[in-house]
Amino acid sequence: MKQKGIPVQKNDVLNVHIEDLTHEGAGVAKIEGYALFIPEALPGEEVEVKVIKTNKGYGFAKLVNVITESPNRVEPPCPIFRQCGGCQIQHLSYEAQLVMKQKQVKDVLERIGGIYDVPVHPTLGMEEPWQYRNKSQVPFGEKDGELIAGFYQKRSHNIIDMDSCIIQQEENDLAVQEVKSIAARYGIRAYDEEKHRGTLRHVVVRQGKKTGEMMIVLVTRGKELPNKKNVIDDIRESLPSVTSIVQNVNPKRTNVIFGETTSVLWGEEYIHDYIGDIRFAISARSFYQVNPEQTKVLYDKALEYADLRGHETVIDAYCGIGTISLFLAQKAKKVLGVEIVPEAISDAKQNARINGFDHVDFAVGEAEKVIPWWYAQGVRADVLVVDPPRKGCDAELLETILAMKPERVVYVSCNPATLARDLKVLEAGGYRTKEVQPVDMFPQSTHVECCSLLIRKD
């Protein structure tokens, strides 16, 4: 029985036309104005679907059959694409992925930000949009008494065992398989979420794209690692690229990967990598972009938008381990960075030292607290760069930007929706969004990063 005002009901089988894609990559069909979201359906297609759920304003359906296929449809090369939740749009050609991401940014700016007539440039993509991730973080489990390692199935915590992932560096995949084999050899049990027992929770592999240095992080439930010496020796012998083996202890009932305690079992505390000419030291828990090739594209754009001539003071809010700060330091007179994570600031200071930058200072704290305090002390920024988490900028920080009146604001965003919300506030406060550049940091997924330039209207 159909609900009032809803033209479809659960288990209805329908032929529909796909009009658009959601920001999560699902096709959108309209029945008498009622939206149905259909994963794996593409714009322009006529498809047969089965309704699986209805809400008041929208519903969900399962793709049964493609009647008329989009010219942009491709066969996903990953054998577990339909089970794994890691990639959402492998079935869409890469050229069409880039167009989709540009459209997504433009639509959100208009709908949420009320920002029209601002150039949203074509998305900057990759020549080779595969095997780009320099970091693998893989949960471990058990099936039929055997160790398994892979990714979580869509909308579940069931692990899909796998040997490789086609968006991760091949060496990282091999490292995960070696660790799985070594752990099995010494009878190390995987962590059981439900019973809260077992040892090995995750293995995290990080590798410097330019240096080749590799770090293996074993995330365990407790401090005890059975056959520790043998495990270390076997990892070193089977993986010659490894320069660091680290243990992280996470004793909590949580799906957060890392715990608070990290110790080096063998080798160095850091591995190193380069983005452009800047060298970075990366620790086990450092935030470092997983696609260094596209990170350079993004940061080059931020540097271009900052338009530094050598006399400017620049503030980098949410500076992390100093990645953008050090790029800006190549051309700025002074750079001030702020970040809430103390370990990240420790890494940032080290990164400034190893690059010989003595005109960069970093502070621990919330950007929305530290930057207003700097402003009260008389600090003025010619250029202010923000690269906030997905939730966007805090309102207090936006108010401080408006009070400080930097000539330029460069907004790096990983979430077009909160970008649009924040640009609306800055535009109302006296800035004009000059242009927005989407960058594809995560091919085969729906995520898109943006670099936006704002200049003062006066």
User: Do 388 and 318 meet the contact criterion of CB atoms below 8 Å apart?
Assistant: yes
Told to judge if 414 belongs to the known catalytic residues of this protein, a careful annotator would answer yes
| Residue 187: Cβ-neighbour burial (10 angstroms; 0-12, 13-18, 19+) | exposed
Residue closest to 328 by CA, chosen among 356, 376, 360, 373: 360
| Residue 308: Cβ-neighbour burial (10 angstroms; 0-12, 13-18, 19+) | buried
CA 366 to chain centre: 21
- Could you say which of 393, 414, 450, 451 is catalytic? 414
Residue closest to 409 by CA, chosen among 454, 360, 377: 454
User: Do 450 and 412 meet the contact criterion of CB atoms below 8 Å apart?
Assistant: yes
Beta bridge partners of residue 273, listed in sequence order: 280
By annotation, the residues acting in catalysis are: 414
